[in-house]
Amino acid sequence: CLMLHSRFLGYLCAILFGIILFNYRALSEDSAMENIVTEKKAEESHRQDSADLLIFILLLTLTILTIWLFKHRRFRFLHETGLAMIYGLLVGVVLRYGIHVPRDVSNVNLNCHVNASPATLLVDVRGKFYEYTLKRVISANEVDDLQDNEMLRKVTFDPEVFFNILLPPIIFHAGYSLKRRHFFRNMGSILAYAFLGTVISCFIIGLLMYGCVMLMKQVGQLGGDFFFTDCLFFGAIVSATDPVTVLAIFNELQVDADLYALLFGESVLNDAVAVVLSSSIVAYQPEGDNSHTFEVMAMLKSFGIFLGVFSGSFALGVATGIVTFTKLRDFQLLETALFFLMSWSTFLLAEACGFTGVVAVLFCGITQAHYTFNNLSPESQDRTKQLFELLNFLAENFIFSYMGLTLFTFQNHVFNPMFIVGAFLAVFLGRAANIYPLSLLLNLGRRNKIRSNFQHMMMFAGLRGAMTFALSIRDTATYARQMMFSTTLLVVFFTVWICGGGTTQMLSCQHIRVGVDSDQDNSMSIAEGSERRSTKQESAWLFRIWYNFDHNYLKPILTHSDGDINLTYGDITVSTDATGAHTSGGPAFAGATSSEDLDRELTYGDHELVMRGTRLVLPMDDSEPPFTDPHNRLRM
């Protein structure tokens, strides 16, 4: 049956592709034959756009079907993102070499010499006015390419689409699905890796690349300007890690929760750091004639921008995250819609204020997962999780398949072997300079040490993904940026395929234990009545301060959990990981632990209660059972 399905879908795709190609041929012949009116032109352009989008939808469909096959057979070497890239590559090859639709020349040759470049242009054609909007600036040598292949131009998206439409749901989902208990437990280390580590990595890579570029200039391999700020910019964008492949395997194999938290937390936060860092580097502009000399004032200004934008985005994200505590529990649709709109408005508000929307959305997601999530009705908790999961999945796979496509369809690639080799070396060394020294330092303060096999794994899991791509494609106007973009693509391909594909091998090679159910551990220890190492005892001072402040002041104010979730009784603290219970259809809590579920912690005072299944274990000497009807009272 499987074979039949795949073959059937193969036929379907072939037919659809046929229609798309036929459409192109028909349209280009049409438009060559006569001078058609604007309305008809717009209609044709709309049809073409539909056909273009269809290519991507088909790519995603194919990816989904193949992933399903892989998951079905437990084939772990290739993650969906890697697969999406492969399909993108294949379609890119077909578009590049298989089809050649010459561009309608009359569309382009009309050059109009003016002295300004306004955002809106009015063209007067015999009394009729045509309004044009500025799309982009192109260099003189690109003008010839424009007339070359209409098809390639058509499948090229506006780079801002990635940053403003596809990235926000991915980043928000990362924040919203952060496993908060383990995240906060390792907060100090995560912050160190994400902030210090990213800055170290950025400067190491920048310096190494500057050396590489100097060398290239010596041997005459450099075809254009490449300044130190460009090198730093490159360092910033390739410092954003995206170990989605690795984490998917970790999740499946149930690798140690602390390692998971360290990697996930670092990658989520370093995206934010890299975005702000790269925009601060772009903002570095010395006063003098030569705009690429070192100047203290300009650097301080850049540093100020970094701090201002980061803290502004952070504050805005947290503020709107806190504001969205709702009381619309009776109407799930309204609740979900409101939640979605508020998250989106965080992004827009940040962008409108001149902050970074992506960063604001990340912290909004974390805040909402921590506070707002508990205020939602169980149905809305499910709905919002599923909605953002879907958006994240679609956006992520779209970006990765576009990455594959653009390797062949992007028209201004600059592949320089020396730069590429240098970049791979720099990326490796930059990652090493982030992980190993910081781990050494952190282990001085940590009770639960980061062992050397964990360090090697973190080193290995430094994949580059969506954020690196979105940052590098944003501006490909200059020679330096084009070379960076091409090199970045190769770095992403290599890390996702090789490092991502070798995760299971690396895990077994480093003797990292799999199949660890962290929740099981906890409930066991309580059930045995042993002195359980509480979350507080095993973590660092930073966490202790935050934990106390959060649980004594913030949570009571921001979580008005008077509904199903408020499980406090006397002095008991309730901590449940079971958010999926009400969807399982069985009695509450049965089979509810899913590793993808958000943790839900409701501590009260000094005690902690973990509920598993329908059993209720209380670490106190109370003769009377505290909950007479746990099934009803504890319904989640």
Q: What distance, in Å, lies between the first and last C-alpha atoms of the chain? A: 39
Which is closer to a copy of itself, CB of 52 or CB of 295? 52
User: Residue 110 or 296: which CB sits closer to a copy of itself?
Assistant: 110
Which residue type does 416 have? N
Cα distance between residue 283 and residue 34, in whole Å: 48
Return the residue of 3, 73, 115, 629 that touches a copy of itself, per CB under 8 A.
Answer: 115
Residues numbered 50 to 109 that lie near a copy of itself (CB under 8 A) are 50-51, 53-54, 57-58, 60-61, 64-65, 67-68, 71-72, 106-109
| Binder of a copy of itself out of 17, 23, 207, 295 (CB under 8 A) | 23
Whether 185 and 261 have beta carbons less than 8 Å apart is answered as yes
**Chain residues 245-264 in contact with a copy of itself, contact rule CB under 8 A:** none
DSSP annotation of 324 reads T
Binding flag, residue 123, a copy of itself (CB under 8 A) = yes
Shortest Å distance, C-beta 43 to a copy of itself: 9
Q: Is 72 exposed, middle or buried (0-12, 13-18, 19+ CB in 10 A)?
A: exposed
Site string for a copy of itself, 372-401 (x = CB under 8 A): -------x---x--xx-xx--xx-------
The residue from 86, 94, 99, 121 that contacts a copy of itself (CB under 8 A) is 121
- Is residue 297 near a copy of itself by the rule CB under 8 A? no
Nearer to a copy of itself, 90 or 337 (CB): 337
Q: Is 5 in the site for a copy of itself (CB under 8 A)?
A: yes
Q: Could you give the angle at the alpha carbon of 256 between the alpha carbons of 587 and 81, nearest 5°?
A: 90
Helix (H, G, I), strand (E, B) or coil at 365: helix
Distances in whole angstroms, Cα of residue 137 to Cα of each of 121, 142, 380, 478: 14, 10, 45, 11
Q: What is the DSSP letter of 464?
A: B
Site for a copy of itself in 425-444 (CB under 8 A): none
Exactly one of 130, 294, 415, 549 binds a copy of itself (CB under 8 A); that residue is 130
Q: How many CB atoms lie within 10 A of CB 553?
A: 10
Question: What string marks each residue from 578 to 617 as x (binds a copy of itself by CB under 8 A) or -?
Answer: ---xxx-x--x-----------------------------
CA distance linking residue 617 with residue 610, whole number of Å: 7
Partners of 610 in the β-ladder: 575
Residues with Cβ within 8 Å of 93's Cβ and at least 6 positions away in sequence, in order, are 408
330 near a copy of itself, rule: CB under 8 A: yes
Report in angstroms how near the CB of residue 39 gets to a copy of itself at its nearest: 8
In the complex, least distance from residue 636 CB atom to a copy of itself, rounded to whole angstroms: 9
The reply to whether 165 sits near a copy of itself by the rule CB under 8 A is no
Size of the site for a copy of itself (CB under 8 A): 107
Cβ–Cβ under 8 Å, residues 194 and 270: yes
Residue type, 357: G
Q: Which residue has the tokens 């301080």?
A: 300
3-state secondary structure of 416: coil
Q: Tell me which residues in 332-371 interact with a copy of itself (CB under 8 A).
A: 333-334, 336-338, 340-342, 344-345, 347-349, 351-354, 357
- Distance (Å, rounded) from C-alpha 30 to C-alpha 37? 12
- Print the binding letters for residues 529-568 with a copy of itself: x by CB under 8 A, - otherwise: ----------------------------------------
**Among positions 73, 135, 290, 541, the unique one binding a copy of itself when judged by CB under 8 A:** 135
Q: Shortest distance, CB of residue 2 to a copy of itself, whole angstroms?
A: 8
- Burial bucket for residue 59 (CB in 10 Å: 0-12, 13-18, 19+): buried
Instruction: Name the segment binding a copy of itself (CB under 8 A); options: 49-57, 171-179, 414-422, 459-467.
Output: 49-57
Query: Which residues have CB under 8 Å from 494's CB, separation 6+?
Result: 424
